[in-house]
Copies of this chain bind each other. A is one copy, B any other.
Amino acid sequence: MADVLTVQPLSRQAFAPFGEVLETEGAELCMINDGTTERFHALAHAELDPHGTAIVSLFRGQPRSFPYSVTMMERHPLGSQAFYPIDNRPWLVIAAADDDGRPGRPQVFLAHGRQGVNYRANIWHHPLMALNEPSEFLVVDRDGEGSNLEEFTYPEPFVIEGADWSK
């Protein structure tokens, strides 16, 4: 029988074991630029090993179909990886605690279109999960020499059932 994963709303508190949530709601702000700009400061902090540099990329993700089988997870030992949606569409964030060098049970978070996340270095996570339509994300991660990708395939997949992701 399929091992079905629960989907919970993304929040700073729920995501804290895995990294940072980038959203203006509930964030401190300061006024800059002579009062014309609100700055929600340092919502995410890039982590880099000494040989890495921070880069900004754009990812365009195809939407996933449901029910979806979560079969693999990945992690980046040498740097954090931040995603922020630029199409104002919901998306799924999947992370897992480490269990002796392999990912534990995945935790699934539904992010709305104005929420990004920053996975800390070495946090197990699923590749980008766009919903409904092809969607673009701004990504801040690490470039440089060294092996920065580790993948793990679960012996038995987990399942995310379909839902109305427009909410």
Contacts and interface: CB of A to CB of B under 8 A. Distances in A.
Interface of A: 22-24, 27, 32-34, 36-46, 48, 53-62, 64, 82, 84-86, 88, 114, 116, 118, 127-128, 136, 138-140, 143
Chain A interface helix/strand/loop/mixed = strand
Contacts of A143: 42, 45
A128 B33 contact: yes
A37 B136 contact: no
B127 A56 contact: no
B33 A56 contact: no
Contacts of A56: 22, 42-46, 82, 84, 116, 118, 140
